[in-house]
């Protein structure tokens, strides 16, 4: 029995999909005007693990993650760059796919782009206008009437009267109420636009997701997820417009990943502590970044720091060190570790508890190796790799992990040439030269491990 914390009810609930054995899940994806940052990585990895585990448990998961490829930020950035907006979005989508591939994130079942669903968006807005839940304003925009939906605020637990009292309306807006939000934006001169019954324009952000999820997954589906900043107003508005358009429940289970903090402060460009995934990859291997994100529960707040990333690297190295030189046994039956792992993951995808099980397996492998019990060590190695796969971890050859080029001054070829020179110096009993080479390698973060089989190396 899987239990999931539902943001809507604010409690853990037994997960019962609408259609037995099948899961329909929608996660809000990127607005592609810039490179993905660490907060995006958190969401990408969190729902990748959730998808992997649901499939491991036998569910047929239809995972939809959208792309917002038209909005104010995109148009503004394209204008700043002096390029066509679609050239910008195409480049950023390509970069996003490169980043997620390096993080080990599997592709979603569908990845709809907003500009491919203009007809569906217009149709949903038309439905809302016809039923009195939306209205065309004098300025050419179309707004959703929040007061027409009595349950507004049920996800965020915000009260409409408080929102209206604290809201400010721009003098250029033609809203009936400060809480109303835009569904269709009238085009400005020279701006990209599409035809609609209300004039040329483009969709508002919130309606995009309702139309795309409705088309890909149906009017009611199992899980809707996203980052913590989307709960309000984006997801609240999705519920309102979707349930008014369709007349019934939009989503059964709402899931939100935790926020990213940098050295205990909120990550933001204004504080100068804003990191793209690509910038982090310049210093840390992608699997280390993934391990760092997976090692915390998806709902918890994660504190990014150099120390925490370094610690993640050391821990992952310990796991791979346990696998080094072992060939995992085949067809190993499930063990108590599998049961403990499942218990942790069934409890709202508790990856922190699942990681604790991996540590226990590593301890077991190391003990078998000390006892020279190669067969049991190989069997435990198979368990470690099997459970790691569910989290998207430990699928590399250990040597590839240890020797991955992270942009240091010495290339793999340089290191191996120096190791050969050291071996020759030792053979000629020139131990001073051998020590000098070892020290030079150590100064460059290269650790040598001498054994009867020869010398292996890893980046420290």
Is residue 416 annotated as involved in ligand binding? no
Contact yes or no for 64/112 (Cβ under 8 A):
yes
State the angle between helix axes of 351-370 and 374-390 in degrees (0 to 180), rounded to the nearest 10.
Answer: 160
Locus of tokens 């046994």: 329
Q: Which domain-ending residue is among 257, 289, 324?
A: 257
Whether 305 and 338 map to the same domain: the answer is: yes
At residue 406 the predicted structure's pLDDT band, cuts being 50, 70 and 90, is low
Asked whether the predicted pLDDT for residue 172 surpasses 60, the reply is no
What does the pLDDT read at residue 404?
Answer: 78
Whether 297 and 188 map to the same domain: the answer is: no
Q: What percent of the chain has pLDDT over 70?
A: 96
Range of lowest pLDDT (24-38, 226-240, 397-411, 415-429): 397-411
Taking the mean position of all CA atoms in its chain, how far away is CA 430? 52
Asked whether the predicted pLDDT for residue 240 surpasses 90, the reply is yes
- Distance, in Å, from the CA atom of 271 to the CA atom of 269, rounded to the nearest integer, reads 5
pLDDT single digits (tens) 278-323: 999 998 999 999 999 999 999 999 999 999 999 999 999 999 999 9
- Distance, in Å, from the CA atom of 177 to the CA atom of 161, rounded to the nearest integer, reads 11
Mean pLDDT calculated for residue range 75-86: 96
- Distance, in Å, from the CA atom of 272 to the CA atom of 454, rounded to the nearest integer, reads 47
- Distance, in Å, from the CA atom of 349 to the CA atom of 49, rounded to the nearest integer, reads 8
Whether 251 and 265 map to the same domain: the answer is: no
pLDDT single digits (tens) 115-150: 999 999 999 999 999 999 999 999 999 999 999 999
List the one residue out of 71, 299, 288 whose CA is nearest residue 192.
71
Question: Which pair of tokens denotes residue 378?
Answer: 């190989």
What is the CATH classification number for the domain harbouring 113?
3.40.50.620
Asked whether the predicted pLDDT for residue 73 surpasses 80, the reply is yes
Asked whether the predicted pLDDT for residue 159 surpasses 70, the reply is yes
Q: Which domain-ending residue is among 402, 423, 448?
A: 402
Mean pLDDT calculated for residue range 351-380: 97
Asked whether the predicted pLDDT for residue 242 surpasses 90, the reply is yes
Q: Which domain-ending residue is among 238, 257, 276?
A: 257
What is the CATH classification number for the domain harbouring 281?
1.20.120.640
- Number of independent structural domains in the chain: 3
What does the pLDDT read at residue 447?
Answer: 82
Asked whether the predicted pLDDT for residue 387 surpasses 90, the reply is yes
What does the pLDDT read at residue 408?
Answer: 63
Question: Which pair of tokens denotes residue 82?
Answer: 């002096």
At residue 170 the predicted structure's pLDDT band, cuts being 50, 70 and 90, is low
Mean pLDDT calculated for residue range 2-12: 98
What does the pLDDT read at residue 173?
Answer: 67
Asked whether the predicted pLDDT for residue 451 surpasses 80, the reply is no
pLDDT single digits (tens) 317-357: 999 999 999 999 999 999 999 999 999 999 999 999 999 99
What does the pLDDT read at residue 86?
Answer: 97
For the chain, the three-class secondary structure string (H helix, E strand, C coil) is CCEEEECCCCEEEECCCCECCEEEEEECCCECCCCCEHHHHHHHHHHHHHHHHHHHCCCEEEEEECEECCCHHHHHHHHHHCCCHHHHHHHHHHHHHHHHHHCCCCCCCECCEHHHHHHHHHHHHHHHHHCCCEEECCCCCEEECHHHCCCCCCCCCCCHHHHHHHCCCCCCCCCCCCCCEEEEEECCCCCCCECCCCCCEEECHHHHHHHHHHHHHCCCEEEEEECHHHHHHHHHHHHHHHHHHHCCCCEEEEEECCCEEECCEECCCCCCCCCEHHHHHCCCCHHHHHHHHHCCCCCCCEEECHHHHHHHHHHHHHHHHHHCCCCCCCCCCCCHHHHHHHHHHHECCCHHHHHHHHHHHHHHHHHHHHCCCHHHHHHHHHHHHHHHHHCCCCCCCHHHHHCCCCCCCCCHHHHHHHHHHHHHHHHCCCHHHHHHHHHHHHHCCEEEEEECCEEEEEEC
Whether 216 and 275 map to the same domain: the answer is: no
Asked whether the predicted pLDDT for residue 269 surpasses 80, the reply is no
Of residues 456 and 134, more confidence is placed in: 134
At residue 460 the predicted structure's pLDDT band, cuts being 50, 70 and 90, is low
What does the pLDDT read at residue 440?
Answer: 84
Range of lowest pLDDT (4-18, 135-149, 159-173): 159-173
pLDDT single digits (tens) 90-107: 999 999 999 999 999 999
Of residues 136 and 263, more confidence is placed in: 136
Structural domain of 450: 405-459
What does the pLDDT read at residue 270?
Answer: 64
Q: What is the CA radius of gyration of the chain?
A: 26
Is residue 244 annotated as involved in ligand binding? no
Residue 415 main-chain phi, psi, to 5 deg: -65, -45
Whether 428 and 396 map to the same domain: the answer is: no
What does the pLDDT read at residue 23?
Answer: 98
pTM above 0.85, yes or no: yes
Residue 70 main-chain phi, psi, to 5 deg: -150, 120
Asked whether the predicted pLDDT for residue 158 surpasses 90, the reply is yes
Query: What is the CB-side half-sphere exposure of residue 360 using CA atoms within 13 A?
Result: 14
At residue 164 the predicted structure's pLDDT band, cuts being 50, 70 and 90, is confident
Contact yes or no for 186/139 (Cβ under 8 A):
yes
235 by Cβ neighbours in 10 Å (0-12 / 13-18 / 19+) ranks as: buried
Whether 319 and 454 map to the same domain: the answer is: no
What 130-136 contacts at long range (C-beta under 8 Å, 24+ apart), as own/partner pairs, is 131/244, 131/245, 133/241, 133/244, 133/245, 134/183, 134/241, 135/176, 136/198
What does the pLDDT read at residue 458?
Answer: 78
Whether 352 and 364 map to the same domain: the answer is: yes
At residue 265 the predicted structure's pLDDT band, cuts being 50, 70 and 90, is confident
Taking the mean position of all CA atoms in its chain, how far away is CA 283? 20
Whether 409 and 397 map to the same domain: the answer is: no
The pairing of strands 221-226 and 201-203 is unpaired
What does the pLDDT read at residue 301?
Answer: 93
Mean pLDDT calculated for residue range 232-246: 98
Whether 185 and 232 map to the same domain: the answer is: yes
Whether 92 and 131 map to the same domain: the answer is: yes
Question: Which pair of tokens denotes residue 49?
Answer: 């693990």
Output the average pLDDT for the chain: 93
Asked whether the predicted pLDDT for residue 198 surpasses 60, the reply is yes
Neighbours of 355 (CB within 10 A): 21
Sign of the CA dihedral 154, 156, 159, 164? negative
Asked whether the predicted pLDDT for residue 374 surpasses 80, the reply is yes
Whether 171 and 191 map to the same domain: the answer is: yes
Whether 330 and 387 map to the same domain: the answer is: yes
Is residue 453 annotated as involved in ligand binding? no
**Close Cβ partners of 80 (under 8 Å, ≥ 6 residues apart):** none
- Distance, in Å, from the CA atom of 445 to the CA atom of 310, rounded to the nearest integer, reads 13
């Amino acid at each position: 029995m899987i239990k999931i914390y539902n943001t809507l009810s604010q409690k853990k609930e037994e997960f019962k999909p609408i259609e037995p054995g099948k899961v329909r899940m929608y996660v809000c994806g990127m607005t592609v005007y810039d490179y993905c940052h660490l907060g995006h990585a958190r969401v990408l990895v969190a729902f990748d693990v959730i998808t992997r585990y649901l499939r491991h448990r036998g569910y047929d998961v239809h995972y939809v993650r959208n792309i917002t490829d038209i909005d104010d930020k995109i148009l503004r950035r394209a204008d700043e760059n002096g390029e066509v907006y679609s050239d910008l979005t195409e480049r950023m989508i390509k970069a996003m796919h490169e980043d997620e591939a390096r993080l080990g994130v599997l592709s979603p079942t569908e990845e709809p782009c907003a500009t491919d669903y203009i007809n569906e968006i217009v149709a949903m807005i038309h439905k809302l206008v016809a039923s009195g839940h939306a209205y065309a304003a004098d300025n050419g925009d179309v707004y959703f009437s929040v007061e027409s939906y009595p349950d507004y605020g049920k996800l965020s637990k915000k009260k409409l009267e408080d929102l209206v009292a604290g809201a400010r309306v721009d003098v250029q807006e033609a809203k009936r109420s400060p809480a109303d939000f835009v569904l269709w934006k009238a085009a400005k001169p020279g701006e990209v636009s599409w035809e609609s019954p209300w004039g040329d324009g483009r969709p508002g952000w919130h309606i995009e997701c309702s139309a795309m999820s409705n088309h890909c997954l149906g009017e009611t589906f199992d899980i809707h997820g996203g980052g913590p900043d989307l709960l309000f107003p984006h997801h609240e508005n999705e519920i309102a417009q979707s349930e008014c358009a369709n007349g019934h429940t939009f989503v059964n289970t709402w899931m939100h990943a935790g926020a990213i903090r940098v050295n205990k402060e909120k990550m933001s460009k204004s504080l100068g502590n804003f990191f793209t995934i690509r910038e982090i990859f310049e210093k840390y291997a992608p699997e280390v970044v993934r391990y760092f994100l997976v090692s915390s529960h998806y709902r918890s707040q994660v504190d990014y720091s150099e120390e925490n990333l370094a610690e993640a690297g050391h821990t992952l190295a310990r796991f791979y060190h346990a696998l080094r030189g072992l060939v995992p046994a085949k067809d190993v039956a499930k063990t108590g570790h599998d049961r403990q792992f499942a218990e942790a993951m069934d409890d709202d995808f508790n990856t922190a508890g699942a990681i604790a099980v991996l540590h226990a397996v590593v301890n077991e492998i190391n003990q078998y190796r000390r006892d020279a019990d190669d067969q049991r060590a190989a069997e435990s190695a198979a368990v470690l790799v099997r459970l790691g796969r569910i989290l998207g971890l430990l699928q590399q050859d250990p040597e590839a992990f240890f020797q991955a080029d992270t942009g240091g001054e010495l290339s793999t070829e340089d290191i191996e040439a120096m190791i050969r020179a050291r071996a020759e110096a030792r053979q000629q009993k020139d131990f001073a030269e051998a020590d000098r080479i070892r020290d030079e390698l150590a100064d460059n973060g290269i650790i040598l491990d001498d054994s009867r089989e020869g010398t292996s190396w890893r980046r420290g």
